[in-house]
Amino acid sequence: MAMASTLHSDRQPDKLRSLGIVALNGMFDEMDAVGVMRQAVAEILPGDVAIVSSFGADSVVLLHIAAQVDPSLPIYFLETGKHFPETLAYVEQLKKQLGLINVTAIHPAPHDLARFDPDGDLWETDPDSCCHIRKTEPLEPITEQFGGWVTGRKRFQTKERGVLPHFELTSDDRIKINPLAYFNDADVAAYKAEHDLPEHPLYSHGYKSIGCAPCTSVVAEGEDPRAGRWRGLNKKECGIHYDFSGAIASPMNAADKYSLFKDGTFVADPFRVWDETMVAGEARYAHVPLPVFLENREAFLANPHPLGLLVSPGDRVEDAEADLGRFVSIAIKFPAFTDGRGYSTARLLTERYQYANELRAVGDILQDQIPLMRRCGINAFVITHKPTREALIENRLPEVNIFYQPVGTSEVPVGTRPYLRRAS
Amino acid sequence: MYRYDEFDAAFVRARTGQFANQVERRLKGEISEEQFRPLRLMNGLYLQLHAYMLRIAVPYGTLRSQQMRKLAHVARTHDRGYGHFTTRQNIQFNWPRLKDVPVILSELASVEMHAIQTSGNCIRNVTTDQFAGAAHDEIIDPRPVGEIIRQWSSLHPEFSYLPRKFKIALNGAPHDRAAIRFHDIGLQATTNGDGDIGWEVWVGGGLGRTPMVAKLINSFVPHEHLLAYLESIVRVYNRYGRRDNKFKARIKILVHEEGLETIKGQVEAEFAEMRGGQLTLPQEELDRISAYFAPPAFSALPDTPVDIAREDILDPVYARWLRHNLNRHVQPGYTSLTISLKPVGGSPGDATAEQMEAVADLAERYSFDELRVTHEQNLVLPHVAIRDLRAVYDGLVAVKLAEGNAGLITDIICCPGMDFCSLATARSIPIAQAISQKFAAPERQKDIGDLKIKISGCINACGHHHVGHIGVLGVEKKGEELYQITLGGDATENASVGKILGPGFDADGVPGAIETLVETYLARRENAQENFIAAYRRLGEAPFKEALYGNG
Ligand code: SF4
Ligand code: SF4
C-alpha cells in the first residue's frame, strides 16, 4: 500500500511521516474502531504494533477489537505487583475468552524494588516514584521495540483530549493509534453489550477506573470515573498514556494541597464553589454567580458574612457596579484559556470601578496567561496544572515584563515615551 | 523608517526569549500541542501540511535592505533557499524546524524584526499602502500612525485571546491601495471641516466565507483619540464577539448580527469613558515617530517624464516594464517601482535568497535603502530617480525579476493552496500558473490592460478572490477539485464583493473560462481606456454569463 511505503521511506522520515499522519487521519476519520485497528496492524505497520493494557475497567473493548483483528498481537500487561487479585484473575479470564495468545506480563526490576521500595509502601509517600519504578522503567525497553502503539484513549476522557485523532506522531517518531478516539461512555457500554463482554469483577463494586489496588478507590455515582484514581492526591494524568494513566510528578508537600496562589505562594482557600443549596441570606465564603446575586440582591446585601462574586464570560460586571465593594473576593471564570473575555472584565473591575480586593482567575489557566492576567488586575489564581504550579512557585513565568501600552493601576512609566510601562 | 530604541530592542529580545521557553517546554512535552498551539500562533508559527511554517511581520510593509538580506539569510540557512511574500505584507518560510525557530527569531531580532502576532486570535500586523510616503496623491503618510498602532497592539494583555484574529489596515491617500474596507478595522485618512487631518474609521469588513464590506462607524477621529477609539472597538468585540462558532467569530459577524447602530452605541459609550485618558496621543509623540518617516534626502531633479514611446522602438521589453511597473512619485524626477514576483508560470510571491539579496542591493543603491512588500505579493522600490531606471532594470533582469506585468492579468494574487496549506480544498498555484501561461503574450496583456485575478484554494479566501475583478475559488465537490469564478470584486474605495455567475469549472477548464470572459470584455468595451471592472459595471453580468454558460 502506498501509505505504508510513504511512512517507511528513509528519506526525510519526519516530514513524510507527519504528512502521512495528516493524510491518515483524513482517510480514516470516518472509519470505525475495528477498521482503524485493522489498517494499523495489517497495512500501516505490519508486525510493528503492540498494546499496553492495564486490564482495567475499560480495557476490554480495545482488547476485543485487537482479538478480532489479530489474536497474536503483542499485548503487554504491567504487573506492578500492586494489582487487585481480581485484576490478575481478569487477565486470565480475558486471555481465554477473547483468545489472546500473546499476552506478556512485565515486572518491575527486583533491584529497584529492593532499593527504593523494600517495604512496598512507596506509593503512600511518593506515588510518582512508585509509578516510575513499577511502570515507566519496566516499559521502556519494550516501547523501543515497536514503531506503533495502540492506545485505548478516548476524546471525552479529559479536556486536553478533546481533539484526539486516530493517529498521532509522538515526539520520538512513533505512531500512536487511538481506535477508540471517538468513543464516548455510551459507545463503550453499547459495544460491551453487543459483544457480551465480561466486566472487570470490581466494576460492579463501584470501581470505575481501576489501576493498582492502593491507588484506586470507589467512585460515587455521577463522579468522573477517574476521580477514584489517586484520590486525595494531586495526581491525575499519566506521562505514559497507554490505556491507563499515571503521572510522573514530584512528591507531595503541604503546599500541593492548596490550589489558590496568592501573594507569591499557594495558600489555603477559604472559599467554596457556590451550589444550589446555599441560601442568599446565610451563605458565607462562596463565590455567588453574578446572575444569582442580581436575582437575590437584597438578601445578599443583608447577609453579614464574607462573600465572593463569580463573573462568568458573558456576565456584565456593570450590572453589579454599585455593589462591588460588598465582596471580599471576585472570581473571574476562564472556561477555556482561549476565552479572553475575562481580561476585559478584570480591567473594568480594577480600572474603571476601582475594585481593589482579591481578584482571582479560575478555570483553564496556563503559565503563559498569568502575566497578562496580572497586568489586567488579577491578583490571585486557582491552579492545578502541575508545570504551571511549579513555574509560579519558582517565579519563572515566561514573561515579557516591559510593556507598550498603559494598562492597570500599578505599572510604572518608562523613559519619556508616553505609553511605555514596566511592572512595578 | 522606524528604528528601534533600547526599549524596543529589549522588548523583542524578551519576547524571543519567552517563545524560546515555550518551544523548549513543547519539545520536552511539558505542554501539549493543544496548549502550544495558541502560543506558537501568537508568534507566527503554523503547522502546515509538510512542516511548520513561520510567518514574519513586515510592519506596514516597509523594509530596509539590511532586513531583506537577513530574510535571504534565513531562507538559505533554515529553509530551502526561498521565502514567500504574502497578501498581508508578511513573509513566510515553509520549512523551518521547530528547534530552529528560536534561532531564527533571534537572528531577526538583530535587525529589528519579529514574528509577533502574525497569527493567532490577536491584533495582527498592521498593513498599509505600499506607496506610503512616496505616492503623489497622499493626504498623510500613514506609517507613523501605523507604527503607533503596532506598538499599542503588541502583546496587548486584554486583547491576546480575542474571539478571532483582528486585522487593521490604514490608507493615507484618497485612492485606497490598502483594501481597508475588507479589514476588521480600516482607517482612511481624511480632512475635517477645519482642515485637520484625522481618520475615518471603518469596521466589520472581511473576506473569508462571509465576505463583507466594512461600514463607516466614525467619520472623523483625530490622531490624539485614535488609540482610545481603537481600544473601545476591540474591547466591545472582545466582550461581545461570538465565540461559539469559529466561522462566526469575526467582528464583521458581530456588526452584521447586532447592527452597526448597536455596536456604534457600545463603542461610543466605551469611548466616552476612555476619551482623554491615558491613551491620548500627545502631538510630540506623533511628531517624534513621524520624524523617523521623514522623506529621504531627495536630489532636486528636473521633472523629466519617462519616454516610453522611445523605448517601445529601442527595447520593447523594457518599455513594457516602464509602462506597467511605475507609480507616480510625489517628488519630481523620482518614481516608485514595482518588482513583480509574478513571473509567467512561477509561484506568485516567491523569491529566492539570491533575488532578495539582489533587490536589497538595488534598494541600497537606488532607493534610499528602502523596500516595500505589497499586499499584491510584489515588492516595491519606493524612491527611485528616473535617471536610474535603466540601471535598476538591468539589475532586476539579472535575477529574473524584471517582469513588466504589474496590475495586468498575469499579476495574479494567489494563496498557497493545496501545495502547502493544510486547510486547502483545491490547488491554487498551478491554476495561477496555467492562467499566466495562457496570457503570456505581452501584447495581449497590454491590450487587456488593468485586470486583477485573485485565487484562493479554499473558502478562507487568503487569495482575496472575493475582491478580484475576476476571482477564482477552489472547492472540493465529490472528491474533485472544482473552481468557482466570481466577477466584479474590487478592493479599493469602490469596494464590492464579486458575484458567482454559475456552476464551477474543473482545473483544466479555468484558463479557458477566463479567456472567454476576457474576450467578452474586449469585444464589448467602449474603448481601450475602459478597463475590465469599469466595463463590467456598465454592462452588468448578463453578457459575461451568457458567454460562459449560453443563454439557456
Ligand atoms: S499506581 Fe500506585 S501502587 Fe501502582 S505503581 Fe503507581 S503509585 Fe505504585
Ligand atoms: S485560502 Fe485556504 S487554501 Fe488558501 S492559504 Fe488560505 S486557508 Fe490555505
Q: How confident is the model at residue A163 (pLDDT cuts 50, 70, 90)?
A: low
Of the listed ranges A95-109, A260-274, A398-412, B266-280, the least confidently predicted one is: A260-274
User: For residues A53 and A245, is the Cβ–Cβ distance under 8 A?
Assistant: no
Is A340 in contact with B49 (Cβ distance < 8 A)? no
Q: Calculate how close chain A gets to B251, using CA atoms only, in Å.
A: 14
Is the CB of A212 inside a 6 Å radius of any atom of ligand 1?
A: yes
Q: Which residues, in sequence order, are CB contacts of A298 under 8 Å at separation 6+?
A: none
The dihedrals phi and psi of A127, each to the nearest 5 degrees, come to -60, -25
Give dist(CA A176, CA A151) in Å, integer.
7
Give dist(CA B450, CA B441) in Å, integer.
15
User: For residues B180 and B170, is the Cβ–Cβ distance under 8 A?
Assistant: yes
The rounded Å distance from CA A37 to ligand 1 centre is: 29
Q: Calculate how close chain B gets to A313, using CA atoms only, in Å.
A: 8
For A74-219, list the strands marked E by DSSP: 75-78, 103-106, 148-150, 167-169, 175-177
Place of cell 509560579: A392
Residues of chain B scoring pLDDT < 50: none
Take residue B7 and report the three cell numbers written for it.
526599549
Mean pLDDT of the A39-54 span: 84
Q: Is 50 exceeded by the pLDDT of residue A55?
A: yes
Taking only Cα atoms into account, the Rg of chain A, rounded to an integer number of angstroms, comes to: 26
User: For residues B123 and B159, is the Cβ–Cβ distance under 8 A?
Assistant: yes
3-state DSSP assignment of residue B168: strand
CA B407 to chain centre: 14
For domain B135-291, the CATH architecture is 2-Layer Sandwich (3.30)
Q: Give the residue, A239 or A152, on which the prediction is more confident.
A: A152
> How do the domains of chain A map onto residue ranges?
2-252, 258-422
Q: Give the residue, A329 or A148, on which the prediction is more confident.
A: A329
The model carries a pTM of 0.73
User: For residues A135 and A240, is the Cβ–Cβ distance under 8 A?
Assistant: yes
> How do the domains of chain B map onto residue ranges?
7-109, 135-291, 308-398, 413-549
Give dist(CA A375, CA A410) in Å, integer.
9
Parallel, antiparallel, or unpaired for β B52-56 and A329-334?
A: unpaired
Give dist(CA A383, CA B135) in Å, integer.
54
Q: Is 80 exceeded by the pLDDT of residue A126?
A: no
CA B33 to chain centre: 30
The dihedrals phi and psi of A214, each to the nearest 5 degrees, come to -65, -20
Parallel, antiparallel, or unpaired for β A175-177 and A148-150?
A: parallel
Of the listed ranges A185-189, A320-324, A353-357, the least confidently predicted one is: A185-189
Taking only Cα atoms into account, the Rg of chain B, rounded to an integer number of angstroms, comes to: 23
- What are the DSSP calls for B387-404, one per residue? GGHHHHHHHHHHTT----
The dihedrals phi and psi of A230, each to the nearest 5 degrees, come to 50, 45
Nearest to B155 by CA among A343, A247, A359: A343
ipTM value for the complex: 0.91
Instruction: Specify the pLDDT at position A187.
Output: 84
Nearest CA to ligand 1 atom 7: A127
* Residues of chain B neighbouring A372 (CB-CB closer than 8 A): 155, 157-158, 160
Q: Which residues, in sequence order, are CB contacts of B310 under 8 Å at separation 6+?
A: none
Is B422 in contact with A22 (Cβ distance < 8 A)? yes
Instruction: Specify the pLDDT at position A23.
Output: 60
* Residues of chain A neighbouring B228 (CB-CB closer than 8 A): none
Give dist(CA A331, CA A192) in Å, integer.
43
Instruction: Specify the pLDDT at position A95.
Output: 92
Give dist(CA B402, CA B521) in Å, integer.
28
**Least CB-CB distance to A404: which of B11, B239, B282?**
B11
Q: What is the distance in angstroms between the CA of the first residue and the CA of the last residue of chain B? A: 58
Give dist(CA A383, CA A388) in Å, integer.
7
Q: pLDDT tens digits for A188-242?
A: 888 888 899 998 888 887 777 777 877 766 555 555 555 555 554 444 444 343 3
Is B7 in contact with A417 (Cβ distance < 8 A)? yes
Q: Is 90 exceeded by the pLDDT of residue A162?
A: no
In CATH, the number for domain B7-109 is: 3.90.480.20
Nearest CA to ligand 1 atom 4: A212
The dihedrals phi and psi of B72, each to the nearest 5 degrees, come to -60, -40
Take residue B92 and report the three cell numbers written for it.
513566510
B148: amino acid identity, one letter: I
Give dist(CA B374, CA B394) in Å, integer.
22
What's the helix, strand, coil split of chain B in %, to 5? 40, 20, 40
Is B235 in contact with A414 (Cβ distance < 8 A)? no
A166: amino acid identity, one letter: H
Is B38 in contact with A407 (Cβ distance < 8 A)? no
Residue of B nearest to A161 (CA): B34
Is the CB of A152 inside a 6 Å radius of any atom of ligand 1?
A: no
Find out whether A376 is annotated in a ligand binding site.
Answer: no
Nearest CA to ligand 2 atom 2: B458
- For a mutational test of ligand 1's pocket, the pick from A126, A128, A215, i.e. the residue with the most ligand atoms closer than 8 A to its C-beta, is A215
User: For residues B190 and B209, is the Cβ–Cβ distance under 8 A?
Assistant: no
Is the CB of B456 inside a 6 Å radius of any atom of ligand 2?
A: yes
Q: How many CB atoms lie within 10 A of CB B319?
A: 21
User: Which DSSP letter does residue A335 get?
Assistant: S
Q: Identify the burial level of B367 via C-beta atoms within 10 angstroms of its C-beta, where 0-12 means exposed, 13-18 middle and 19 or more buried.
A: buried
The rounded Å distance from CA B263 to ligand 2 centre is: 30
* Residues of chain A neighbouring B271 (CB-CB closer than 8 A): none
User: Which DSSP letter does residue B88 get?
Assistant: T
Residue of A nearest to B26 (CA): A171
One fold for B7-109 and B413-549: no
Helices then strands, counting H and E runs in chain A, come out as 15, 17
What's the helix, strand, coil split of chain A in %, to 5? 40, 15, 45
Nearest to B126 by CA among B46, B189, B180: B180
Instruction: Specify the pLDDT at position B309.
Output: 93
Is CATH 1.10.3470 the right assignment for the domain spanning A258-422? Answer: no
Nearest to B375 by CA among B189, B208, B217, B183: B183
* Residues of chain A neighbouring B153 (CB-CB closer than 8 A): 405
- β-sheet bridge partners, residue B299: none
Q: How far is CA A97 from CA A101, A192, A334, in A?
A: 11, 14, 48
* Residues of chain A neighbouring B422 (CB-CB closer than 8 A): 22
Q: What is the distance in angstroms between the CA of the first residue and the CA of the last residue of chain A? A: 62
Mean pLDDT for chain A overall: 80
Q: Is 90 exceeded by the pLDDT of residue A390?
A: no
Give dist(CA B500, CA B471) in Å, integer.
9
Instruction: Specify the pLDDT at position A31.
Output: 62
In CATH, the number for domain B308-398 is: 3.90.480.20
3-state DSSP assignment of residue A103: strand
Positive or negative, the CA dihedral A133, A137, A138, A143 is positive
3-state DSSP assignment of residue B203: strand
Instruction: Specify the pLDDT at position A21.
Output: 61
The dihedrals phi and psi of B203, each to the nearest 5 degrees, come to -135, 145
Place of cell 496544572: A385
User: Which DSSP letter does residue A339 get?
Assistant: -
For domain B413-549, the CATH architecture is 2-Layer Sandwich (3.30)
Q: Which residues, in sequence order, are CB contacts of B58 under 8 Å at separation 6+?
A: B89, B90, B91, B113, B125, B373
**Least CB-CB distance to A399: which of B18, B38, B163?**
B18
- β-sheet bridge partners, residue B212: B206
Determine which of A11, A353, A399, A400 to mutate to test the interface with B (most B C-beta atoms within 10 Å): A400
Is the CB of A369 inside a 6 Å radius of any atom of ligand 1?
A: no
Q: How many CB atoms lie within 10 A of CB B5?
A: 11
Instruction: Specify the pLDDT at position B34.
Output: 78
Give dist(CA B247, CA A405) in Å, integer.
30
User: For residues B395 and B361, is the Cβ–Cβ distance under 8 A?
Assistant: yes
User: For residues B242 and B248, is the Cβ–Cβ distance under 8 A?
Assistant: yes
Is the CB of B101 inside a 6 Å radius of any atom of ligand 2?
A: no
Is B152 in contact with A22 (Cβ distance < 8 A)? no
Is A402 in contact with B31 (Cβ distance < 8 A)? no
Positive or negative, the CA dihedral A76, A81, A87, A92 is positive
Take residue B341 and report the three cell numbers written for it.
514576483
Question: CB contacts < 8 Å between A and B, how many?
Answer: 112
Nearest CA to ligand 1 atom 1: A212
Take residue B153 and report the three cell numbers written for it.
497592539
Q: pLDDT tens digits for A227-283?
A: 555 554 444 444 343 333 222 222 234 345 678 998 888 887 878 889 888 889 888
Q: Which of the residues of A are catalytic?
A: 238
Q: pLDDT tens digits for A6-45?
A: 344 333 344 445 556 656 665 555 567 888 888 888 877 8
The rounded Å distance from CA B32 to ligand 1 centre is: 24
- For a mutational test of ligand 1's pocket, the pick from A119, A128, A134, A137, i.e. the residue with the most ligand atoms closer than 8 A to its C-beta, is A134
Positive or negative, the CA dihedral B276, B214, A407, A311 is positive
Q: How many CB atoms lie within 10 A of CB B127?
A: 28
Give dist(CA B148, CA A229) in Å, integer.
53
Nearest to A375 by CA among A334, A411, A419, A417: A411
Mean pLDDT of the A377-395 span: 88
The rounded Å distance from CA B523 to ligand 1 centre is: 82
Q: Calculate how close chain A gets to B375, using CA atoms only, in Å.
A: 27
- β-sheet bridge partners, residue B481: B476
Give dist(CA A343, CA A337) in Å, integer.
11
**Least CB-CB distance to B239: which of A341, A368, A372?**
A341
Instruction: Specify the pLDDT at position B352.
Output: 95
Instruction: Please give the CATH superfamily to which domain A2-252 belongs.
Output: HUPs (3.40.50.620)
Instruction: Specify the pLDDT at position B446.
Output: 92
Instruction: Specify the pLDDT at position A86.
Output: 87
Give dist(CA B465, CA B485) in Å, integer.
9
Find out whether A212 is annotated in a ligand binding site.
Answer: yes
Is the CB of B462 inside a 6 Å radius of any atom of ligand 2?
A: yes
Between vectors from CA B211 to CA B206 and to CA B216, what angle results, nearest 5°? 55
Instruction: Specify the pLDDT at position B246.
Output: 87
- What are the DSSP calls for A146-160, one per residue? -SEEE----TTSSGG
Give dist(CA A128, CA A112) in Å, integer.
14
